[in-house]
Homo-oligomer: A and B are copies of this chain.
Amino acid sequence: MRIKIINPNTSQAMTETIAASANQYRRQDTEIVATSPESGPAAIDNYYDEAIASVGVLQEIKKGLTERFDGFIIACFTDPALQASREISSVPVVGIGEASMLLACTVAHKFSILSMPKSSAASMHDLLTRNGLESRCASIRLIDIPVSEIGDKLTETKQLLLHTAREAIAEGAEAILLGCAGLAGLDKEFEKQLNLPVIDGVVAAVKLVESLHDYGLHTSKVLTYRTPKSLQPASF
C-alpha cells in the first residue's frame, strides 16, 4: 500500500525526520511518501500557524487523491485540518496526535503529552477534547521552547524533555507521547531511559493506516465527513 505523509510545515529537515521514522517501522509492502506544502509556516507554534498550515495540508490531500494513495497522515501533533481532510478524501486520513493517543490506550492506563511551547496548552487540550480522551491523559507537560528552535540546541532540549517526562511519570504518566513531529525518532532512546512506552505519533499513524487498509475500512461519509457539495463531482 502507499501512504502519503504530509508534514504541515515547510521545514525540509523535519519532513526527512518524519520519513525516517515512518520507514523504520512500516511494513515491507508499504510505500511511504513524505512531503510538505509549497508554502506555509516553517514551524507550527500557535493557532495562527495552524490555520495557515491547514490550507497547505488540504492542497496536499487534494494532490494526493489524484496520485492514488491508499491513505494519508497529517504529521503535526495537533492534527491540523484533519476533519476537513476526511471530508474531501475517499481514503483514510489519520493524524499523529490522534494516533499516538489511541495506540497508547492499549499499553497504558494513562499517558502524558510531552511537547512545546508552553502557550500550546489550550491547543493540546483541544486535541484531547476533540478526541474525547481527557480522562486517559495524566498531564500535558510543555517546555517553553518554540518548535523552530528544537534543532538548534538538541542536547539541551533532550535533557529538558527527559527531566519533564520524569515529572510527568511522578504524577501518573504510564506512557509518554512525543507531542511534536519535530521529536520524531526520539522514541526508543527515551524509552530506554524512562522504562515505559514512548510513542512517536508518526509510527503510530503508519500502523493505524496500515490496519485500516488491511481491514478495508474507509471514512464514514454519512454525517460529519460528508463530501462537500462543491467537491462532489470531479473538481480535483
Contact = CB atoms under 8 A, between A and B. Distances in A.
Contacts of A110: 122, 223-224
Interface stretch (A11-19, A154-162, A178-186, A206-214): A206-214
B81 A223 contact: no
A130 B136 CA distance: 9
Interface residues of A, number: 80
A218 interface: yes
A173 to B, nearest CB: 8
Nearest to A80: B51
A55 B58 contact: no
A41 B55 CA distance: 13
A201 to B, nearest CB: 11
Given A55-B55, A103-B208, 8 more contacts: A27-B27, A46-B84, A46-B226, A46-B228, A103-B215, A108-B220, A109-B122, A207-B211
A99 B208 CA distance: 12
A32 interface: no
A31 interface: no
Integer count of this chain's copies in the complex:
6
Contacts of A212: 103, 106-107
A70 interface: no
Interface in A108-137: 108-110, 118-119, 121-123, 126, 129-136
A75 interface: no
A52 to B, nearest CB: 7
Interface string A76-106: 0000010110111000101000110011011
- Pick the most buried of A45, A50, A92, A109: most chain B CB atoms within 10 A of its CB: A109
Contact of A172 (B135, B211, B223): B223
A103 B52 CA distance: 28
Given A49-B228, A84-B47, A107-B217, A222 B25 contact: no
